[in-house]
Structure 1
Amino acid sequence: MAIEIERKFLVIGDAWKQGAGEFISQGYLSRDPCRTVRVRVKGAEAWLTIKGQSVGASRAEFEYAIPLADAEQLLTLCEGPLVEKIRRIVPHAGMDWEVDEFLGDNAGLVVAEIELESAEQHFEPPPWLGQEVTEDVRYFNSQLAMWPFVTW
């Protein structure tokens, strides 16, 4: 089974902004906390992702490339509005951080994620890293689709 170990943090300042980033649009076919099913489009590529329930920073994750045309049709079946963001990969101390700058009703929210090999893996936090929100469900993309940042 594929396991995702990921920690999530708010971002402060704009020292993380490097390059143009990539536009991502994603929606949820299921937002059940025990199993989310996501459709994601990034450029000319698309994926279907199934994630299990989070336990701390870990959860089961299965991701499959799908045809772009299929993804575009699946996005029309998703619950709630789509989540749109610009993702930048920001290297720091030998590790890559995914920094998502959210758009639309989630504008103003910037979140950094780091994928780890184990929950105990050490990493050096970049200076622009703010409060950890790994276990705060409000920051799950599946929740942002239904309860956007501007409504908090």
Structure 2
Amino acid sequence: MGLEIERRFLVRGEGWRQHVGWRAHLEQAYLVGSRDGLTVRVRRSDRAQALQADGEPGGQAWLTLKAPAPGGRDGLVRQEFEYAIPLEDAAALMALAPHRLAKWRHGLELPGGDWVLDVFEGENAPLVLAEVELASAEQPVPLPSWCVHEVTGRPELSNAALAREPLSRWSVERRQSLLAWLGEADVTSDTI
């Protein structure tokens, strides 16, 4: 069984840019996205400037199943099963999916784990979230100053939830509720 141990943070500012090692455009489509955390996702990635031998844009695709881990803590630890699939299969599956999102993923060179940062597009802009994958749930993580609030385990900010109900479709009351939870001194409505 594959386990994903991951913490997530709301990002403010541009300080993260100096740590970027690579970037890729991701399109994600959700075939299943239950509120209890079970998801079946198709992801297509086009690395910036990646070209195939014939000069066409390169890319990769994966089919991923995620589910809560037995005894997992508040979204920190999940079961994850991920399989590479042909791009043609990904396109066919994405056409069947009712919910999708797009974002730019940036690989970050930071200590404390495997860091990535997602800059969401479309109806989820201007949301920016950082994620760090860890070897254990107890592993300490040195946090950069631009990680303004931890959102690990917040189901409404999972990728599956954002595909199902993008931020732009949230009611004013729901946004304000999240801002209140985050602490308005830490973030502004421009962040979410």
TM-score band, normalised by the shorter chain? over 0.9
Q: 2:81 aligns with which of 38, 49, 62?
A: 62
Structure 2 distance, partners of 1:95, 1:59, is 17
Measured on the aligned residues, the alpha-carbon RMSD in Å equals 1.5
Is the alpha carbon distance of 1:21 and 1:34 closer, same or farther for their aligned partners in structure 2, counting shifts above 3 Å? closer
Question: What is the aligned partner in structure 1 of residue 169 from structure 2?
Answer: 151
**TM-score, structure 1 as length reference:** 0.93
What percent of counterpart residues are identical? 44
1:35 shift after superposition: 2.0
Q: 2:39 corresponds to which residue?
A: 36
Letter in 1 for 2:41: R
Q: Tell me which stretches of 4 or more aligned residues in structure 1 moved more than 6 Å.
A: none
Give 1:93 deviation, angstroms.
2.6
CA distance in 1, matches of 2:136, 2:8: 15
Distance, in Å, in 1 between the alignment partners of 2:80 and 2:134 is: 14
The 5 A counterparts of 1:1-152 are: 1-17=1-17, 18=20, 21-32=23-34, 33-43=36-46, 44-53=59-68, 55=72, 56=74, 57-80=76-99, 82-93=100-111, 95-152=113-170
What's the secondary structure of 2:64's corresponding residue? Answer: strand
Where in structure 1 are there 5+ consecutive unaligned residues? none
Change (3 A) 1:20 1:6: closer
Report the Cα distance in structure 2 between the residues aligned to 1:19 and 1:120, rounded to whole angstroms.
26
Deviation, structure 1 residue 95: 3.6
State the aligned residue count. 151
**Who wins on radius of gyration, i.e. which is larger?**
2
CA shift for structure 1 position 21? 1.9
**What is the CA–CA distance in structure 1 between the aligned matches of 2:112 and 2:12, rounded to whole Å?**
21
Distance 2:147 2:101 in 1: 22
TM-score (norm 2): 0.74
More strand by share: 1
